[in-house]
């Protein structure tokens, strides 16, 4: 097959993105929608104004589905609403996540369970459900959102670290079993990116200086610096990529 730029096209692909009404997920939704994909935003709160306005301005076919992805019924509703509207699912991007900062020796059961339920349990169950649809379709892609803490330990975020290590492991486990079904499962691992989740770190002058000193690029990443990778992972160009965790980190892991 002769190579052409259509390999990177996501035009008319139906892409579910969880937690895509803010932060990294919003950037993914904007990029993929601008490239012609039909976007399904799974959101927990009502803060959808920005993605709605952006979609209207750029003529993006957008479906908003509100729900709590830690609940099986809400996961089922997300899938049902997507299939009712578009009759297929091409890509699932598991972006929704949370982080709770507490000293390890004081970390509460409530905090642990909340982080694990959102960051890994919902990824497991939703991916399993969508993978069964992909099996019937004969194709599909799952893109998980990992982290630098899929590789490292971090401080004051034991549940987040454990969950992101689990995301990396689950990515590989899914890839091993689903590759023969023409289903690709990979992950993007953002570095230190300017989002609401990282605001407390950036506002800590000492911690911020420590982080910047280790990033070869010399600055915190912007959400739009992840857009190219997410488009690649959602496109035909990544058809032979499976089980990969791709860091987009300004060189953090190479340091």
Alpha carbon of residue 182 to chain centroid: 20
Among 230, 222, 193, which residue's Cα sits nearest to residue 32?
Answer: 230
Distance CA 247, CA 255 (A): 13
In the structure, what pLDDT confidence band is assigned to residue 3 with cuts at 50, 70 and 90? confident
User: Taking residues 198-213, what's their average pLDDT?
Assistant: 93
How many independent structural domains does the chain possess? Answer: 1
9 inside domain? yes
Res 22: pLDDT: 93
255 inside domain? no
Cα dihedral 84, 86, 91, 95, rounded to 10, equals: -60
pLDDT, the chain, mean = 97
Residue 203 near residue 220, CB atoms below 8 Å: no
217 inside domain? no
17 inside domain? yes
Residue 162 near residue 173, CB atoms below 8 Å: no
**Active-site choice (139, 160, 192, 240):** 160
Res 187: pLDDT: 99
160 inside domain? yes
Distance CA 4, CA 224 (A): 24
In the structure, what pLDDT confidence band is assigned to residue 21 with cuts at 50, 70 and 90? very high
The two tokens of residue 143 are: 């893109």
Res 206: pLDDT: 94
Overall residue count recorded for the chain in this entry: 255
Q: Which residue has the higher pLDDT, 198 or 180?
A: 180
Res 2: pLDDT: 86
Q: Is 160 a catalytic residue?
A: yes
Q: What is the CATH number of the domain that holds 96?
A: 3.40.50.720
pTM for the whole structure:
0.97
User: Taking residues 101-114, what's their average pLDDT?
Assistant: 98
Beta bridge partners of 39: 15, 62
Distance CA 185, CA 171 (A): 6
Q: Which domain holds residue 60?
A: 5-195+222-249
Among 53, 251, 115, 97, which residue's Cα sits nearest to residue 64?
Answer: 53
Q: Is residue 106 over pLDDT 80?
A: yes
Res 1: pLDDT: 76
200 inside domain? no
171 inside domain? yes
237 inside domain? yes
Residue pLDDT, tens place only, 187-205: 999 999 999 889 988 999 9
| Listed range (77-81, 162-166, 206-210) with the worst mean pLDDT | 206-210
Residue pLDDT, tens place only, 27-79: 999 999 999 999 999 999 999 999 999 999 999 999 999 999 999 999 999 99
User: Taking residues 114-130, what's their average pLDDT?
Assistant: 99
Residue 242 near residue 185, CB atoms below 8 Å: yes
Torsion 64-27-255-101 (CA) sign: negative
């Amino acid at each position: 097959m002769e190579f052409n730029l259509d390999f990177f096209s996501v035009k008319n692909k139906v892409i579910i993105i969880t937690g895509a009404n803010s932060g990294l997920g919003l950037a993914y939704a904007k990029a993929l929608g601008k490239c012609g994909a039909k976007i399904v935003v799974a959101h927990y709160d009502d803060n959808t104004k920005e993605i709605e306005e952006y979609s209207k301005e750029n003529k993006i076919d957008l479906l908003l589905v509100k729900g709590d992805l830690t609940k099986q019924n809400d996961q089922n509703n997300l899938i049902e609403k997507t299939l009712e509207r578009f009759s297929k699912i091409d890509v699932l991007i598991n972006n929704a996540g949370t982080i709770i900062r507490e000293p390890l020796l004081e970390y509460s059961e409530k905090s642990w369970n909340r982080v694990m339920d959102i960051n890994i349990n919902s990824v497991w169950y939703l991916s399993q459900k969508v993978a069964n649809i992909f099996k019937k379709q004969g194709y599909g892609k799952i893109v998980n959102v990992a982290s630098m803490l899929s590789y490292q330990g971090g401080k004051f975020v034991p549940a987040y670290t454990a969950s992101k290590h689990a995301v990396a492991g689950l990515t590989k486990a899914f890839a091993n079993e689903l590759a023969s079904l023409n289903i690709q499962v990979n992950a993007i691992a953002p570095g230190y990116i300017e989002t609401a989740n990282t605001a407390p770190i950036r506002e800590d002058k000492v911690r911020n200086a420590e982080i910047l000193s280790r990033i070869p690029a010399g600055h915190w990443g912007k959400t739009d610096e992840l857009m190219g990778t997410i488009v690649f992972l959602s496109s035909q160009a990544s058809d032979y990529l499976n089980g990969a965790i791709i860091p987009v980190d300004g060189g953090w892991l190479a340091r």
